[in-house]
Chains A and B, each alone.
Chain A
Amino acid sequence: MKEYKAVPMRDGYGNALLKLCAADPKVMVLDADVAKSTRTDWIKKEYPDHFLDMGISEQDMVGTASGMALGGLIPFCSTYGVFLAGRAWDQIRTTVCYNNLNVKLGGAHAGLSVGRDGATHQALEDVAIMRVLPNMTVVVPCDSLETEKATLAAAAYPGPVYLRFGREAVPVITDEDTEFEIGRARHVSGPELRNAGEIADAAIFANGPMVREAAIAAEKLAAEGITAAVYDLHTVKPLDEEALLAAAESAKVIVTAEEHQLAGGMGGAVSEFLSVRHPVLMRMIGVDDSFGESGSPDQLYDKYGLRAENIAAAARGALGR
C-alpha cells in the first residue's frame, strides 16, 4: 500500500481562502467563534479586513452573509457542520437558497472524525439537510488538496454551495494535477466505465475520507478476482448523472460509501436517481440510523462499519461471492 502524507482537510479550506482573499477584494470570511478549528484564523491574521468573527451566532452569521451577497460580496460562512447546516438551516433555506444567493458554507468537523467530542459534534445528517434544498450545491471532498480545489471552485461557482470536511488529518491521495470539477465524478481506480466497452463487477462511489477506503477495498476485491471501478463522487448535488448511468450499465452492482447517515446521504441521492432512471443492484455503506459517540476516529470507523473491509464485503455479498 502506497504511503500518503496525512493533512487535515480544513488546511485545504484555509489555503484556498488565503488565495481567494489575496486575489479578490469581494471575498469575505465569516466564522462563529471556532476560527481556530476551521483555519479561518489564518485569514484573521493575514487579511483581517476580509474576516469577521460573528461570535456564537450561527444564524446571525448566515443572515449577515446573505446581506453581503446581496451587496455583491462573496461570503464564506465557517463553523462545525452540525451548527452550520443544523442551527442555521431555516436561514439557509429561506434567505440563502430561496433568493439563490452567492453564499458559500464551509462545514468543518463533519462525520465521525471529531471523535472524542462525541455525538453532539459529529455531523452525520448535514449532507441530507443541505442537498434537499433547491438551488444548493453540495460538495464533499476527499482530502486537503481536493478541499482546496473545491473551495476555489465554489468561489467561482454561482449560487449557494455547501462544502463539507472532517477534523482528522487524512491521507492526501490526490496531487496538484488531479482534476477537479464541481458536478463531475472523479475516476479513482479500476475500469473507467464512462469509456465505451469498459465493464466491471462492481462500481464503488465514495466521497470524503471514504474514497481512500473504497480504493483499498477495490484492491482487496481485485486480489479475489472481482473487478471494481472506484469513483470519488465529491459532488452530491448536482449528481454526475452521466457517470452514474454509465456505471449502472457497465457494472453488476453499485456500492456507495460515505461518512454520513445512510438515510438522505450521497448513497440515498444515487439510489433516488438510479432507481428511476436505471435500476441496478445497490449496497450502501454509512451510519445506520444512529448517533455517534466518543472514541478515537479509528475505533468509531470500526464500530460503525466505515472500513474498506465493509465496502468489500458489501460488494461480495451483492455479487453472491
Chain B
Amino acid sequence: MTEERERLMAICRQVRSDIVSMIGKAGSGHPGGSLSATELVCGLYFGGILKYRPEDPEWEGRDRFILSKGHAGPLLYSVLARAGFYSPDEMQHLRELGSILQGHPHAERIPGFECSAGSLGQGLSVANGLAFAFRRTGHPGRVYCLMGDGELQEGSVWEAVMTAAQHHLDNVCALVDYNHVQLDDTVENIKALGDLCEKFTDFGWNAIEVDGHDVINVVEAYKIAEALKGAPTVIIANTVKGKGVSYMEGDPAWHGTAPNAEQLERALSDIAGGNGFEKYLEEDYDSEEEAPEGEVSPL
C-alpha cells in the first residue's frame, strides 16, 4: 500500500505543479479549488476507480465524471493530459484565444471532458440524467460529480439531491470538496452548511466523510460508495483550499488569483518539497491493516 500511496502522491504533485504553472502562465484563473480537489480527482482517475480509455474518449462503456464547479477546470485539464487524452503541451495555452483549454471548460473542444461548466449548481442534475440513461440502457457505469461547498448554496443542487434519492440512483456518486472557502469569504461567514453529512442522509443519501488529502482513503471511499446499493452516495471530502501551496492554504484571496513569477516559484517548491505530504512519506503503512477512516452513514 505504501508503494501505491507513493505512486498516487507523485501524480498529485505533478498535477498540482501543472495547475499552478498553467494558471501562472495564463496570468489568471482559480488555483484554490483545483488544489483542494487534487486527491479526489486523481484518486478517481489514477486509483483504478473510473473506467475510461484515453485512446478512445467516446468509448461507450466508460464511467462519467461531471465537473460541476467549472472554475476547477485546470485540475481536470492536467488530469486528462496526464491520463493521455491529449498532449500536456496544451496546458501552455490555458485561457488563450483558440485554446482547447478555455477559462471555464468547453467540453466540445476537450477530449475526455464530458460537460461544459462554469455556472455553479448545474452538474448534479446532469449526473442524475446520465444515471437515468445508464439505468435505461443497461449501462453498468457510474457517474461522479464534483461540487464545491460554496456551490451547495445554489438551490438547484438540493433539487438534484432529492431527485437522486427519490429514484434510488445508486450509480450516482457526488463529491463535495469541503474546503470551507468560497469567493468572498469562508462558507461559515457567508452561508454555513451546518452538518453536511446529516443534511445528505436526511435527504436519503449515503454519506461518507473522508480526509480529502489522503489519497488512499479517498480511493477506499470510492470503493465503499460503489458497494452501497439502493441510494446515491456522497463523499464529503474534508480539504484545505489551496492545498500544497503554503501561502494559498485557507486564504479566500487565492480563490481566483494567479501567482506571479516569484509566487509561482515558491508554489512549485512547496509542491515539490511535499508541503503537507511529509506525514505520509514518513509513516509506514501496512496495507493489510489499513482501514478507511471514512464514516459510513447507512440509509
Contact (Cβ within 8 A) B97 A56? no
Contacts of B116 in A (CB 8 A): 120
- Please pick, from A31, A54, A82, A118, the residue contacting B103 in the complex, using a CB distance under 8 A: A118
- Please pick, from B103, B118, B121, B183, the residue contacting A116 in the complex, using a CB distance under 8 A: B103
Contact A83-B184, Cβ < 8 Å, known A54-B191, A118-B95, A118-B106: no
Q: How far is the CB of B254 from chain A (nearest CB, A)?
A: 12
Q: How far is the CB of B50 from chain A (nearest CB, A)?
A: 24
A121 at the interface (CB under 8 A from B): yes
Contact (Cβ within 8 A) A119 B102? yes
Contact (Cβ within 8 A) A57 B155? yes
One digit per residue, 1 when the CB lies within 8 angstroms of any chain B CB and 0 when it does not, for chain A 42-56 equals 000000000001111
Contact (Cβ within 8 A) B118 A293? no
Contact A294-B97, Cβ < 8 Å, known A33-B184, A56-B150, A59-B155: yes
For chain B, give the interface size range: 20 to 34
Contact A116-B153, Cβ < 8 Å, known A294-B95, A294-B102, A296-B97: no
A263 at the interface (CB under 8 A from B): no
Q: Which of B185-202 contact A (CB under 8 A)?
A: 185, 190-191
Contact A120-B70, Cβ < 8 Å, known A56-B153, A82-B119, A294-B102: yes
One digit per residue, 1 when the CB lies within 8 angstroms of any chain A CB and 0 when it does not, for chain B 14-44 equals 0000000000001111000000000000000
Q: In the complex, A36 Cα to B191 Cα: how many Å?
A: 17
A296's closest neighbor in chain B, by CB?
Answer: B97
Contacts of A34 in B (CB 8 A): 183-184
A242 at the interface (CB under 8 A from B): no
Contact (Cβ within 8 A) A121 B104? yes
Q: In the complex, A119 Cα to B99 Cα: how many Å?
A: 13
Contacts of B95 in A (CB 8 A): 116, 118, 294-295
B56 at the interface (CB under 8 A from A): no
B120 at the interface (CB under 8 A from A): yes
Q: In the complex, A55 Cα to B98 Cα: how many Å?
A: 33
Contact A56-B151, Cβ < 8 Å, known A34-B184, A116-B26, A118-B106: yes
Contact (Cβ within 8 A) A35 B118? no
One digit per residue, 1 when the CB lies within 8 angstroms of any chain B CB and 0 when it does not, for chain A 21-44 equals 000000000010111100001000
Residues in A lying within 8 Å of B, measured CB to CB: 31, 33-36, 41, 53-57, 59-60, 82-83, 86-87, 116-121, 293-296, 299-300, 303
